[in-house]
Structures are given as C-alpha cells and as structure tokens.
Amino acid sequence: MNNITKHIFWLSSYPKSGNTLLRSILTSIFFTDDGKFNFNLLKNIPQIENTSNLEFIKYTNSEDFENIHKLEVLSKYWQDIQSKKNLEFEGDFIFIKTHHALIEFLKHPYTNRSNTRGLIYVVRDPRDVVISLAHHNNISIEKSIEVVMNKKFVIEWQDPMQIFLNRKKPLSYLSSWDFHYESWMENNFECPQLLIKYEEMISDKFSVIRNLIKFFEFNYNFNFSNLDAKINNILETTDFELLKKNEKKYGFSEAVNKSFFNKGVTNQWKNKLTKEQITLVEKKFHPLMKKLGYKTIYYNNN
C-alpha cells in the first residue's frame, strides 16, 4: 500500500488472552448509545485472518489463490488484504482483531506504520493461557505447553464461508507466547499504544473501561456521552457469567470444539497445573513474566 492512511487500529493478543472480552467492551463503548453489549456487536471488530478477505486474489492471480496456504505466497498480499479498499468499511478507521505475530517474511512485513493508527495489546499469564488454550482446542495441557513455547506455531484462518472446505487453509503465524508479545510491543509504529492485562479486565473491569476511554479521549480527541450509565451497562452486560449463559442460549460463532467462554478467572494454574508444568512454563518465559509482573513460584533466575 503506497498511501499513508493509518486506517487500522489493531487489537492484538496471543489466543485465549482476552481479546474477545476487550472487543466486547470496545464495541459497547463505540457502537452503542447505552453500552449494552450483545454478540452481534462483535461484527464491528472483525478478525483480519478471515478467508473472505482473500476473494480479490482469486480474480487477480488464480495461481496464487490456489497456493495461498503457503506463507511465501500469502505474505505477498498482507498489505493488500489490509487495504482500505479491501476491508470495505465506512469512516476513516477500523478496529481489527489479530492473533498474528508482527513478523516480516521474505521482506514482506505483516503490517506497517502507514496502515496503523493505534494498537491495543492484551496479555495474559502464560500459565493460564496454556489451560484455556487446551480447553479451547481440546488438547492436553502437555500439548498446550508445547504450543505456547513453539516459535513456529501457526493456526488456520477462519473460514466461515467454507471457501477452503476441501483444501489447505492459509495460516496465521503466531510463534511463542513471549515472541508474540515482543513482536507487537517492540514495534516502530510511533502511534498511540496501550497494554492491557487480562487479569485487570477480570479483577477491575471498571478501571480498564475508564482507562480505555481516557486513552481515546487523550490521543484521538473522542468525546463520549452518557458515560456513567454506559459504563454501568457495559459492566453488567459483559459479565463473564452472562456471556457464558448467552453463548449457551444463542450460540457463539467463534467457539471451536467446546464452549468459548469457559471460566473467566485468573490464577487457575495454581490448581490445574502440576509443579513440573508450572516450572517448565516459568523457566521458559521468566524474563518476560518478571517484566510484566507475573510472579514465578518455582523458578527464579536472578
């Protein structure tokens, strides 16, 4: 993309770190008058890694479209996929969700400062991530730990229209938990950025909402009306137990294998992981865990 439009506001996170809860809060702030959340609002913050965003390649280069599952092919189109023309939205910017690491492949950057208006990154204690990821993907804790440590970890793109039903899907490159964080938070975008911890959204959602509002007021001169009532409604309608109840009642398109909203708690690793599993995660991620304030209990390398 040649023009500098800064039309994307990124919401990035490692999987099962609270991105959906953040989207629930943001859509209630920006896309309602009263702050009352419902699942349909999430359509206002789409995930970029959706096969519907690849349709243009089918008509511009059919050979590449047939080989779009290969990273060397897909990476050529990252910027075109993110173009304002391809995303087709109203207004001057759009919130976009991604789990993709901020990498460069064959000199093709995943995204750049020309596209990027801002960034919110959500991080979660990796010891809890492995539990939630295991539940979400229906895999063992041991396998989940291998996944979050794997620098070559990839996941398939969403394919809601089943465009790739009988063929290989394009892949999102996630890498390991620490690499993913560092790739996004050590960028050169020179734009407003905010780090949110999943644990804060669970323990003090009110403060998180207030900080989000202040972030957009200060950096983008947004004016929000009816804030007190709006915040109260956001707190009520994004309550985890209510989200879980509504998923069971109405369904949720982002659920895979099992229910999407499982526990919505913190520090479950203390009872769910063995001493050996905790030590393995802490030893691998100790530097970043220490930086983020996640205290280790079995591994300490000063």
pLDDT digits (tens, 9 = 90+) for 47-56: 999 999 999 9
Q: Determine, yes or no, domain membership for 302.
A: no
Q: Determine, yes or no, domain membership for 1.
A: no
Task: Give the residue-averaged pLDDT of 128-149.
Answer: 94
Which has more pLDDT, 219 or 264? 219
26 band by pLDDT with thresholds 50, 70 and 90: very high
Q: Determine, yes or no, domain membership for 132.
A: yes
Whether 17 and 91 have beta carbons less than 8 Å apart is answered as no
218 band by pLDDT with thresholds 50, 70 and 90: very high
The 10s digit of each residue's pLDDT in 67-94 is: 999 999 999 999 999 999 999 888 889 9
Q: Determine, yes or no, domain membership for 239.
A: yes
Which has more pLDDT, 142 or 246? 142
Cα–Cα distance measured from residue 84 to residue 166, given in angstroms and rounded to the nearest whole number:
30
Task: Give the residue-averaged pLDDT of 59-67.
Answer: 95
Cα–Cα distance measured from residue 237 to residue 244, given in angstroms and rounded to the nearest whole number:
11
Cα–Cα distance measured from residue 149 to residue 285, given in angstroms and rounded to the nearest whole number:
9
Q: Is the pLDDT of residue 256 over 60?
A: no
Q: Is the pLDDT of residue 46 over 50?
A: yes
Q: Determine, yes or no, domain membership for 18.
A: yes
Across 82-96, 197-211, 244-258, which has the greatest mean pLDDT? 197-211
The CA-based dihedral angle spanning residues 133, 137, 139, 143, taken in that order and rounded to the nearest 10 degrees: -50
- Regarding pTM above 0.85, the answer is yes
The 10s digit of each residue's pLDDT in 140-167 is: 999 999 999 999 999 999 998 888 988 8
264 band by pLDDT with thresholds 50, 70 and 90: low
Q: Cβ neighbours of residue 122 under 8 Å, at least 6 residues apart? A: 11, 12, 13, 17, 18, 19, 22, 196, 197, 198, 201
Q: Is the pLDDT of residue 260 over 80?
A: no
Q: Determine, yes or no, domain membership for 3.
A: no
Q: Determine, yes or no, domain membership for 168.
A: yes
Cα–Cα distance measured from residue 176 to residue 34, given in angstroms and rounded to the nearest whole number:
39
Domain count, the chain: 1
Question: What is the bridge-based pairing of β-strands 154-156 and 171-173?
Answer: antiparallel
> What's the token pair of residue 124?
């979660």
Shortest CA distance to 198 belongs to which of 140, 263, 153, 151? 263
Cα–Cα distance measured from residue 98 to residue 41, given in angstroms and rounded to the nearest whole number:
17
What pLDDT is stored for residue 1 in this prediction? 38
What pLDDT is stored for residue 252 in this prediction? 47
Q: Largest Cα–Cα distance in the chain? A: 56
Q: Which domain holds residue 248?
A: 8-292
> What's the token pair of residue 275?
């001493």
Q: Determine, yes or no, domain membership for 300.
A: no
Q: What are phi and psi of 95, to 5 degrees?
A: -80, 135
Q: Is the pLDDT of residue 271 over 60?
A: yes
What CATH code is carried by the domain that includes residue 165?
3.40.50.300
